[in-house]
Amino acid sequence: MLNRDSPARLLPTFVTLLVIGVLLMTIDVRLEGKGVVEVVRSGAQAIIAPLQEAASLLVNPAADMFDSLTHVASLREENIALRAELAEAEADLVAVQDQLALLALLEQLYELDSAGPELGQTVANVIGKVDAAFVVDKGTNDGVVVGQPVIDTNGYVVGTVRTVTSGSATIVPITTGRNGLTVLVNAQVGTLTPQVNTSEMRLLIGDAREPVLQGDRVVTSAGSTSYPAGLPVGVVIADAAPESNSLAASVEPYVNTDTLRLVVILAWPPTPVTAGTDETVVVEATTTTTTEDATSTTTPENEG
């Protein structure tokens, strides 16, 4: 016997089954033949992908920074190694320069035409400094005496021997000595004197006939009592014209005594009596100048 309430109970069951059927049909359409596991995996991938991008934005810069730091450390190590190699190369270069200077000296010693091939020459090493002077490793045992002129390996004037011992000598440069130096520039004889607190020297020509120009060579005059004629001394720094028959100019010496390593001491004068004309002084490498006034110039008492 059927209960009157049976139709009312079957209706919810029917609706539930209908909804389940529709859901299954929808899932089946969306799967399009794919399995449930694959659908779940795709959904999980869709959720995780943004998280992976966010992680990449955070992790990749950190990794790049770590790689950069590693690269910088490697570069520093390479830089230190290169600096060490550079220091060794510089030391080797200094040694080579010393050898080249010695070779150039040996090649040039017998080509000092102004000093004359008959002059004795003593090569000495600079071993120290004393105030404004410097000390070399040759003395009376090597034939060095007080007053002898000193040049560098290029033949440029350096100074004179002030004191001497058996194994050493003290050299006073022309830039710090108290005495003047008789020189020839532009066929005119003048006196070159040192200046205080500067490497420049002062050129004074008492009977100037022509101006001196920037770049004019200054050489020792045959009127000098301390140097052979024609040794290069320096170069005129700026143009200067005579004023009331006198001329004053600044001269930059060729030699920087702070960088000297080797010097040449000349056994001069070769005889007690010295010649005194400027007729054979070479002002330029290929020019010989003769002057009538040069032989009549009076040498200053303090000339060095």
Helix axes 6-31, 36-108, angle to 10 degrees: 30
Per-residue pLDDT at 249 exceeds 80: yes
Cis peptide before 232 (omega within 30 of 0): no
Residue 153 lies inside a defined structural domain of this protein? no
Interior/surface letters 183-197, b for 16+ CB within 10 angstroms, e for the rest: bbbbbbbbbbbbeee
Q: Please identify which residue in the block is written with the tokens 């050129």.
A: 203
Nearest Cα neighbor of 139 from 131, 148, 151 is 148
How far is the C-alpha of 258 from the C-alpha of 36, rounded, in Å?
93
Both 288 and 188 in one domain: the answer is: yes
Q: Give this prediction's pTM.
A: 0.54
Structural domain of 229: 181-251+274-296
End of a domain among 70, 88, 111?
111
> Under a CB-based contact definition with an 8 Å cutoff, are residues 156 and 149 in contact?
no
- Is residue 106 predicted with pLDDT exceeding 50? yes
In this model, does residue 296 exceed pLDDT 60?
Answer: no
State the total domains in the chain.
2
Distance of CA 206 to the CA centre of its chain: 40
pLDDT of residue 160: 95
Mean pLDDT across 150-173 = 94
103 pLDDT tier (thresholds 50, 70, 90): low
Q: Which of the listed residues 68, 88, 111 is the one where a domain comes to its end? A: 111
